[in-house]
Structure formats: structure tokens, C-alpha cells
Amino acid sequence: MSSYAEDAAPVAAAFFDLDKTIIARSSTLAFGPSFYRYGLIGRMDVIRTGVAQLVFRLHGADHSRMEKIRAQVSQVCRGWQAERVAEIVARHVADLILPQVYAEAWELLTTHRGAGRDVVIVSTSGEEMVGPIGELLGAAAVIATQMRVSDGRYTGEFDFYAYGEAKAARIKALAAERGYSLPHSYAYSDSITDLPMLEVVGHPRVVNPDRALRRIAECRGWPVLAFTRPSRTEPAGRSDPVRSFPVGGSSTGEIAGSAARERDAARGQPDVHG
């Protein structure tokens, strides 16, 4: 028989950015070679995709880079058949995405689900890609960019651009719809552009943060996590700990202590570190 406290426990969720938070690369750019193979883009587009992927891995994506990627995606995909894109993504999503999932992210996804929280992926990438990725990773829902489709083809315009304040607004709307308590919920991201998303939950965490987000985390005492080990497949019963590096220190004892706190927090234990 459950106690009154257990029955009254608020429903919470864990909101995860996708690129450089769950996976080590850009989910949009990851499909470039596949789109080339099926004739959707040309050789020069593939080269540009490779360069953009390298820049993203090294420097992340600030506002100017995100706007550049948005403009490029809009131009390149105009006229594509939406159904054809869905077929290509479905065929290659596991091979392209699973090897890029951080092992530490697998641990957290599993831990949050085990604690009864819905996992929600919140990404600026297109819903055509994020939806199948969400299914692959066991997400309860996804929030993603929605490209406009007319007569079965992309127009190059956006019905919804999941970026910045728009991510936060959609999280609030989903929370109202599903009854999530945002003060009891978690959010994870690497980018300063996701600051609004991090600020709407009670337990923000930054993962492999860019400089601007790291500075804010230091000022506000938010936990800083370092995900470094892309997985090859979903780990079955993985037990190795999430490696979490505390702000302002990196000794072995500090790292171990921070990792234990993050696991306890994700499992629903008291979190006295914000």
C-alpha cells in the first residue's frame, strides 16, 4: 500500500536538448550523407555539411550559427517530398544516431524513466528527425521544429521554430497539458541559447556547456555535467556512473561526489545543491 506522500507526489518530467547533450553531433547534419546518397543534395552540400559538423563539434552553435543553419536548411530542403525524407530518416536513424549517444546520457535517460518521470526531447532539429530519434531513445514526447508542407513538399518556411524562448513556451504548454510540475522537473542542455528552457524548471543542469552557459552555471550554482563517451549501442543494464564535474573543481573526490549527487537527484532523492 502506498503512503499518502507517494500518492501525492507531483508528476515531473526531464527535458533534454538533443545535439551535444544526448548525442555528440548535430542531428540535422548527421543525415547529410544519407540525403546525398538518395539524391536530395549535391556533393558541395555534403562538403558544407561536413565542415558545419566539425565546427559544431568544436565550438557548438551560438545564435549566429543557429540562424545560419536555419537559413541553409530552409533553402536546401525547399521542394523535397516530406514522405521521402521520412522514409530515409526511418531507414537510417538507428545506424546514424545510436553510435553518437553519450553513454552518460543513456544512464540519465534510464534513471529518470525509472524514477517515474517522462523524458521529453526538445530540439531545434526538424520533427521528421527528432520524432524517430525520440522513439529510439524511449522519449514520451518530443518538441521540435516543424517545417511547412504544401502538396506533400517542404516550402522552406517554418510553422514552428523550436529555439530559445519558443522552446520554453512549448515546454510550459506541454506541462500544462500533461500536468507536469515544472518546479520538480529537470532540464539538460549545452547551449546558452537554451537558457530560457533551463530557467523554467526547478532542476536545471548544463552538459558540455559553451562558455556563456558555463559562466551562468557558475553564478547560479547549477550542476555542470561532462558527457564524453559516445555509445555504440544501448547499454543493457549499464551500471557505470554518470561522470559529473562540479563547477570550480575537478579532483577525483569532487567528481565522484558530484556524480553521486546527480544520480541521487535524478532518482528523486533530496538535492541540496540546486
Would you please indicate which residues are annotated as catalytic (active-site) residues?
17, 19
Neighbours of 127 (CB within 10 A): 18
Q: What is the DSSP letter of 157?
A: E
Q: Which of 229, 177, 219, 179 is nearest to 199 (CA)?
A: 219
Task: Determine the Cα–Cα distance for residues 104 and 192; give it in Å rounded to an integer.
Answer: 21
Task: Determine the Cα–Cα distance for residues 78 and 85; give it in Å rounded to an integer.
Answer: 12
Residues 197/17, Cβ–Cβ less than 8 Å: yes
Whole-Å CA distances, 126 to 12, 103, 172, 243: 25, 24, 20, 30
Q: Cell numbers at residue 154, please?
A: 517542404
DSSP-based three-state secondary structure for 77? helix
Instruction: Work out whether strand 118-126 and strand 13-16 pair parallel, antiparallel, or are unpaired.
Output: parallel
Please give the sequence-ordered ranges of beta strands (E in DSSP) within 108-252, or none if there are none. 118-126, 141-150, 153-160, 186-189, 203-207, 224-225
Three-point CA angle 186, 200, 64, nearest 5°: 100
Residues 175/122, Cβ–Cβ less than 8 Å: no
